[in-house]
Amino acid sequence: MSEVKLKLGIPGKYEERVVTLPEGEPKPYDADSKLSVVGSRHPRLDGFAKVTGQAKYAHDIRLPDMLYAALLSCPHPHARVKSLDTSAAENMPGVKAVVAAADQHVRFAGQYVAAVAAETLEQAERACRAIKVDYEPLPFVVDLEEARQPGAPKVFDNRDSNVRAADPTERGNLAEGFAAADAVVEATYKTQVQTHACMETHGLVAHWEAPDKLKVWSSTQGTFAARDNLARRFELGAENVEVITEYMGGGFGSKLGLRDFESAAVELARKAGRPVHLMVDRKFEHLSTGNRPNSVQVMKAGCTKDGKVTAWQVDSYGTSGIGGGAGVANPSVYDFPAVRKTSADVYTNAGPGCPMRAPGHPQGIFAVESMMDELAYKIGMDPVEFRRKNNSHPIRDAEFELGMKAIGWERRNQTPGAGPGPLHRGIGVASGRWSNVGERRNSRIQVRVAIHPDGGVEVENGAQDLGTGTRTIVGLLAAEELGLPVEALTVKIGHTSYPYGPASGGSSTAPGLAPTVRKAALLARRRLFEVVAPALQAQPEQLECRDGKITVVSDPGKTMDWKRACGLLGTTPINELATRSDNFDGWQAEAAGVQFAEVEVDVETGRVRVLKVVVVQDCGTVLDRLTAESQVIGAVIQGISYALLEDRILDRTTGVMVNPNLEQYKIAGSWDMPEIEAIMYDAAIGYNNAGVNGLGEPPVTPTAAAIANAVYNAAGLRMRELPITPWRVLAADAARRGGRS
């Protein structure tokens, strides 16, 4: 154990902290750290493999004698399967195996009921159509408001109603808070259901190498979670299940668990005695693999005339279909003196929701930041100044200044909607939040670093890269610690045969892996220095490695090339396995972040065009600036799509989704893209030795709110419901002209 002093914080607000390090732990990065590789703008290590088609996704896996699987889905939103006859399908050309779903009580249209494996995908699909199913249709409800009514059809028979309310949360005295308010605003905000729409749909390739040995190539966000799920499902030892995810085409939270239809593909492979390939189609992906729940947030808030919020009340509910988790993060960003919050899940006969990039936060922050804007305008205060008066996060306060300058905040309309003609431009602002600095205690995450006698270096961890750049940041961190160029390392990830890695969810991958990579690389470097030191007539602690050369710090003339140094190992490579240490007592665990949006609103057509988005985002240490900016820009694109376009639409009469494709389910494309300026704000947070916070979630949270607030500044139209479609803009304009707000 040793103590080190760290300089933590942000410019102008640094403070000294003393941290006790366990044996083998690198000194955490702080404000005085001098880094050469970490923090640079390095291209993705797997970029060439992807653009040349060498990267193999689960969809691309082809094995000898492989079969293809197709799924049969129920067309009814609620039904019981009275009988299921697969005999005709089993006798069709090419069919090798058929399985039926264990749950024959169907609760949403699109739910999987049977699966077929055949020589070709076309044969499997034809066989699915030949399966005879006798359904008993049951009463259903897909509308959120209808499902809340006492006499609504029940989604689950064992529940008294479709509403599952959480216990209220309260702090402070709400009555006193509203009594002290000079201004009170009451409003209802609504958000829609958004599907994940991953570029690569759900699926896997399953291969039974022996009756008790299973190998699976999966599009999963958690290789080890998938391994453990498969081991339990098929009663195998975890050591007899290997899961591989070298590349994947996005997940956004929908690929964290093993689905029943994926288990069906593994069962088909076992039953047929041959490998089976299953990748679901786009329609099934929309219907069955998850979504971001919708929300209704009935809100009342009050503030003083000098801009301090005194009371905040919100009653929210939403539907996650047949699942749970429709709660929203509200009031989220701010700490108000008096708050009362109620929330409820409402079951409907629709596909189950599941975690989606910052669960609950885009919905909640849309409402919170819209209300903050409404309060600011009501008391005649600058919306940024109003937020700063209620903000306790030092990083966010600094980020407001950068964002205002970058967007040209002084250009906003002093009077929303003023000006002649149909085209109106305006600027809006919103704040976000997230917190993940990695597992605080007893982590299982491990990283192996091997240094070979020929000078080669391998870094191994079994975590997957779902497109966020995990390979690259692992390579940069190890290169920084070893004093080598990144190209000198080989990064191996995505196999459960490698050391244990975290699932990619909740922005946990980087803060989980990064400290462990540094630790393993440090241990390996120390081992090499022990071998090299006698040859340089020095002690190991007197050595350093920079640019591939090992040098005696006090006598730079004594130096040795990396490859020559590794040659001293003889035939025995260095293998160091490190386990992630517990977190330290750092400075700020929560990532802040602010966004400014500039829009143009055409009040004749209702079209909203986003012209520019400025994002100022912190994540502790920026490990690779290019990768970090890419993450932020991708999040903003998804946020724009959520704000203006995406919306799962269910027919209330039939209970069926009417837009389960990428034609009617609109996703933002290049035509919709504005200029996006990503400003990464460095902060020395000190919670782990890499000083890194999660980045995947935070920048998606405030985008929709910033756009909605910009629409108000542009056209004077307060958009309280997402998505902000042309007809909603026209309806808001018509209501305003009719004298309604």
Q: CA-to-CA distance for 320 and 143, rounded, in angstroms?
A: 12
Written as six digits, the tokens of 80 are 């019981």
**Distant-in-sequence, close-in-space partners of 401: CB < 8 Å, separation ≥ 6:** none
**Residues 582-614 pLDDT 10s:** 999 899 888 999 999 999 999 999 999 999 999
The secondary structure element, H or E, covering residue 363 is helix 361-378
| DSSP β-bridge partners for residue 244 | 217, 495
Q: Count of residues for the chain?
A: 741
**Angle between helices 703-715 and 726-737 in degrees, nearest 10:** 40
Task: Dump pLDDT digits (tens) for 149-205.
Answer: 999 999 999 999 999 999 999 999 999 999 999 999 999 999 999 999 999 999 999
Residue with tokens 């909203």: 608
What's residue 257's pLDDT? 87
Q: Tell me the pLDDT band of 440, cut-offs 50, 70 and 90.
A: confident
User: Residues 295-338: pLDDT tens digits?
Assistant: 999 999 999 999 999 999 999 999 999 999 999 998 888 989 99
Give the pLDDT of residue 158.
Answer: 94
Residue 129: CB atoms within 10 A of its CB come to: 12
How far apart, in Å, are the Cα atoms of 525 and each of 469, 540, 566, 661?
Answer: 24, 10, 11, 52
Strands, E assignment, 192-283? 194-195, 203-210, 213-218, 241-244, 276-279
Tell me the β-bridge partners of 164: 345
Instruction: Decide whether 1-34+393-437+584-741 matches 58-138+197-288 in CATH topology.
Output: yes
70 touches 121 (CB < 8 A): yes
242 in Cβ contact with 222 (< 8 Å)? no
| The predicted structure's pLDDT at residue 332 | 81
- Measured CA to CA, the distance from residue 233 to residue 571 in angstroms comes to 43
Please state whether beta strands 132-137 and 79-85 pair in parallel, antiparallel, or not at all (unpaired): antiparallel
**Of 166, 174, 242, which is closest to residue 210 (Cα–Cα)?**
242
pLDDT in tens, 32-47: 999 999 999 999 999 9
CATH topology of domain 58-138+197-288: Aldehyde Oxidoreductase; domain 4 (3.30.365)
CATH architecture of 440-579: 2-Layer Sandwich (3.30)
Provide CATH code, domain 154-195+291-390: 3.30.365.10
User: Is 90 exceeded by the pLDDT of residue 438?
Assistant: no
Position 289 pLDDT exceeds 60 = yes
DSSP percent split of the chain into helix, strand, coil, nearest 5: 30, 30, 45
Q: What is the residue whose two structure tokens read 């699987």?
A: 69
CA dist., res. 587 & res. 55, Å (int)? 40
Domain boundaries 1-34+393-437+584-741, corresponding CATH code? 3.30.365.10
- Tens of pLDDT, residues 348-397: 999 999 999 999 999 999 999 999 999 999 999 999 999 999 998 999 99
pLDDT over 60 at 741, yes or no: no
Q: What pLDDT is recorded for position 335?
A: 85
What is the pLDDT at residue 435?
84
Please check whether residue 461 is in contact with residue 444, taking contact to mean a CB–CB distance below 8 angstroms: no
| pLDDT value of position 740 | 57
Crossing angle (nearest 10°) for helices 625-644 and 703-715: 60
Mean pLDDT of 444-466: 98
- Give the integer Cα–Cα distance in Å for 417 and 424: 7
Reply yes or no on whether the pLDDT at 1 is more than 90: no
pLDDT digits (tens, 9 = 90+) for 199-221: 999 999 999 999 999 999 999 99
| Domain spans in the chain, listed from the N-terminal domain onward | 1-34+393-437+584-741, 58-138+197-288, 154-195+291-390, 440-579
DSSP state of 250: -
> Which of 343, 295, 348, 345 lies closest to 156 in space, CA to CA?
348
Average confidence score pLDDT of the chain: 97
**Phi, psi for 62 (deg, rounded to 5):** -130, 120
Cis omega (within 30 of 0) for bond into 331 = yes
- Give 623's pLDDT tier (boundaries 50, 70, 90): very high
pLDDT number for residue 419:
87
pLDDT of residue 11: 93
- For residue 90, the surrounding DSSP H or E stretch is helix 87-90
> Could you report the per-residue pLDDT of 458-467, keeping only the tens digit for each?
999 999 999 9
Note the pLDDT of residue 739: 67
Q: What's the confidence (pLDDT) of residue 588?
A: 87
Q: How many angstroms separate the CA atoms of 619 and 592, rounded?
A: 8
The pLDDT of residue 275 is above 70? yes
pTM: 0.97
The count of C-alpha atoms lying within 13 angstroms of the C-alpha of 11, restricted to the half-sphere facing its C-beta, is: 4
